[in-house]
Amino acid sequence: MQITEPLESGKYYHIYNRGINSENIFKENRNHEYFLILYNKHIDPIAETFAWCLLKNHFHLLVRIKTLEEILCTKNEDKIKKNIPPHQSFGNLFNAYTKAINKGYNRHGALFERPFKRKLIDNESYLRSVIKYIHYNPVNHGFCEHPIEYPWSSYITCVSEKPTKLKREKVISLFKNIETLKAFHNQGENFDSIENSLNL
């Protein structure tokens, strides 16, 4: 049995997973939309989101797990079961999404690989690199030539002013300002070191 580290409050994690046997987990646009609705329900109360990307057969998320004090201060306090550990909230998200896909597409059984994968991010330089890596995932997989062209990631939100729960100001501050963030994302980069550490 594979042992995974618990998600600790106050720490940043790159969370990622793919469909079992590399099966597509997002078959059409409404699947992406429903996943994000469930994400908002299950994960927004317990984590801050810094980057995300949904591809056909896998996804990437960059989150900071909230402290108990931060969770208790949220407006959703009455909706949160305080004793649920963060990894269970992610499990609830994946289970709810799996049930919807199984019902909608006449399938059964697991949809995601288990357990879901997580990588601790322990310094600011690594945090910036993972943000760019997540935004560049559609480029690396041949879906587009620049992150701005892909609708199912947080990059468009980062460079826009539309209302969002994404921690956009914090993301921009990691790159000093919006111009530097855009310039950083316009530069080519070799992501081999990140890819190798993920064991995808």
Residues 106-162 have pLDDT tens digits of: 999 999 999 999 999 999 999 999 999 999 999 999 999 999 999 999 999 999 998
Report the chain's mean pLDDT, rounded to a whole number.
90
Residue 200, both tokens: 């995808």
Does 82 have pLDDT greater than 70? no
Rounded distance, CA 7 to CA 116, Å? 12
The residue-averaged pLDDT of 55-81 equals 80
Q: Which residues of 145-184 are buried (b: 16+ CB within 10 A; e: fewer)?
A: eebbebebbbbebbeeeeeeebbbeebbebbeeeeebeeb
Residue 24, both tokens: 């597509």
Rounded distance, CA 132 to CA 60, Å? 11
Residue 129, both tokens: 């690199």
Give the Å distances, CA to CA, from 78 to 83, 93, 108, 153, 156. Answer: 13, 19, 33, 30, 32
End-to-end CA separation in angstroms for the chain: 18
> What is the Rg, in whole angstroms, of the alpha carbon atoms belonging to the chain?
17
Q: Write out the E strands in the chain.
A: 12-18, 47-54, 58-65, 117-121
Residue 38, both tokens: 């469930």
Percent of the residues in the chain that have a pLDDT greater than 90, as a whole number: 77
* 117 strand-pairing partners: 16
Residue of higher predicted confidence among 40 and 71: 40
- Asked whether the whole model's pTM tops 0.95, one would answer no
Note whether 18 and 58 are within 8 A (CB).
Answer: yes
The residue-averaged pLDDT of 65-79 equals 73
The three-state secondary structure class of 30 is helix
